[in-house]
A = this chain, B = another copy of it.
Amino acid sequence: MNDAAASSPTATPAEPGEVGLVSPRDYHHHAPFTFDNGRTLPAYTLRYETYGHLNAARDNAVLICHALSGDHHCAGIHSLDDPKPGWWNNLIGPGKAVDTNKFFVVCANVLGGCQGSTGPGSLNPATGAPLALAFPDVTVRDMVRAQKNLLDHLGIASLHALIGGSMGGMQVLQFGIEYPAFCKRLLPMATTARASAMAIAFNEVGRQAILQDPEWRHGNYPAGGGPRVGLAIARMMAHITYLSDASMDRKFGRRLITSHTPSASPHFDPRFQIQSYLLHQAESFINRFDANTYLYITQAIDHFDLVNANGSPENTLAALQKNLSPIEARTLVIGFTSDWLFPPEQNREITLALLRAGKSASYAELATDLGHDSFLLESPRLYDLVRGFLDS
């Protein structure tokens, strides 16, 4: 059952401190999966990677949960000339905060994703065309339940820890609620118990940019085509919400582009570096991401709600406390001072509700000026916190 553990990463010696060469694998779940909305798929696939080795007790696994635009490739490289390692390579590796000499690290592209897992871009075997909107509405809880089947397949008896930021943090919390005894440590960061009106608002603008792009065609666009303009607009905007005023001013300020080939409407060509940076980010994103997945996953984020009640702050806290009460894991929530998308108070609130429920929970706040993306970026103080919590 733990064939994946034995064979991934490959036998190629890793650089000291680096996971090195890794290969993604596919887990095929050959049984029906019923989504939260009642709809069923006859089977599904999750693409995943693992690093390190599962121990004999099968209790040293760490699940990494990715955010909206992330995927299963969170550490290592895919080829020797790969210019870019996995998205959390700074955190994960031999001797790193998530030490692959100690832990068996697993990361899967979520259900509904577009990097190899079943999602709206997957082909409908009945028609040969992408499922598109025939893919069921997916929730964070669906993502979590789908990943649990993979972990069972890998022979994991219990998770030493679950770590994730943003939507990854939502999965971490939901996992701890669904499978209390299975989860020993939860480490959600830069996350929220439920998206605020502002977070929903930004997601809605992104979705509208896609939905109203004439190339969207109600989701039935050809592979490689589709609402590239709408997806680019959605990404540019979202990217701003992951940064901060201070970090953008430091990195770009009002510095001008030094050379530039005029377009057909040079009046409005980019002049500031921040403009060309955003355009470049969007271009790179639309070449790797599927627009329908963007719609489904942002909606899953918006609908995620561990409070599920309106009313006073006290009512909110009481409802959150009740919904988090199944959790048995030790929990460390990390917030970042400059995160204005899922700001510190939303992370503190989770901890407060857990403490009121009598759980072992703590909150750490890291002072950064890098915005929501702080959790992804080089930070020895974050590494020390993660390492300490995993050793606890």
Q: Which residues of A contact B (CB under 8 A)?
A: 133, 137, 194-198, 200-202, 204-205, 207-209, 211-214, 218-219, 229, 232-233, 236-237, 240, 243-245, 248-249, 251-255, 264-265, 267-268, 270-272, 274-275, 278-279, 295, 299, 302-303, 305, 310, 340, 343
A197 with B279, Cβ < 8 A, contacts A205-B233, A205-B237, A268-B211 known: no
User: Can you sample 17 A-B contacts with CB below 8 Å?
Assistant: A137-B267, A194-B254, A196-B249, A197-B251, A197-B254, A201-B236, A204-B236, A205-B236, A205-B278, A208-B232, A208-B233, A212-B229, A237-B237, A245-B343, A254-B310, A267-B295, A268-B295
Bound-state Cα–Cα, A209 to B303, Å: 26
- Does A274 lie within 8 Å of B200, measured CB to CB? yes
Given contacts A214-B214, A267-B137, contact A310 B253 (CB under 8 A): yes
A278 to chain B, nearest CB (A): 6
Contacts of A270 in B (CB 8 A): 204
Which B residues touch A272, using CB under 8 A? 197, 200, 204, 302
Contact A209 B233 (CB under 8 A): yes
Q: Report the separation of the CA atoms of residues A295 and B209 in the bound assembly, to the nearest whole angstrom.
A: 18
Q: Determine the residue in chain B with the shortest Cβ distance to A233.
A: B209
Q: Provide the bound-state CA to CA distance between A178 and B201, in Å.
A: 40
Q: Which residues of chain B have C-beta atoms less than 8 A from A207's C-beta?
A: 268
- Minimal Cβ-Cβ distance residue in B for A195: B254
B295 touches A249 (CB 8 A): no
A310–B272 Cα distance when bound, in Å, is: 13
Query: At the interface, is chain A mostly helix, strand, loop or mixed?
Result: helix
Chain B residues in 8 Å Cβ range of A194: 254
What is the CB-to-nearest-CB distance from A241 to chain B, in angstroms, rounded to a whole number? 9
Q: In chain B, what residue has the closest Cβ to A136?
A: B267
| Residue from B197, B236, B254, B279 in contact with A274 in the complex, judged by beta carbons closer than 8 Å | B197
**When the two chains form the complex, which single residue of B195, B274, B302 contacts A204, counting CB atoms closer than 8 Å?**
B274
Min C-beta distance of A124 to chain B, whole Å: 16
CA distance A373 to B255 in the complex (A): 28
Interchain CB contact under 8 A, A198 and B278: no
9 extra A-B contacts, CB within 8 A, seeds A137-B267, A198-B249, A204-B272: A197-B245, A197-B249, A198-B244, A200-B274, A207-B268, A209-B233, A212-B232, A245-B340, A254-B310
Least CB separation from A240: chain B residue: B201
Shortest Cβ gap from A147 to chain B (Å): 23
Whether B201 lies near A278 (C-beta < 8 A) is yes
For A228, the closest partner residue in chain B by CB is: B212
Q: How far is the CA of A249 from the CA of B200 in the complex (A)?
A: 11
- Expressed in whole angstroms, the minimum distance between the Cβ of A340 and any Cβ of chain B is 7
Compute how far the CA of A194 lies from the CA of B248 in the bound complex, rounded to whole angstroms: 14
Contacts of A198 in B (CB 8 A): 240, 243-245, 248-249
A275 to B206 CA separation, bound complex (whole angstroms): 11
Q: How far is the CA of A209 from the CA of B235 in the complex (A)?
A: 12
Of A197, A252, A253, A267, most buried by chain B (CB within 10 Å of CB) is A197
In the assembled complex, the CB of A20 is this many whole angstroms from the nearest CB of chain B, namely: 36
Are A205 and B245 closer than 8 Å at their CB atoms?
no
Partner of A248, one of B201, B229, B251: B201
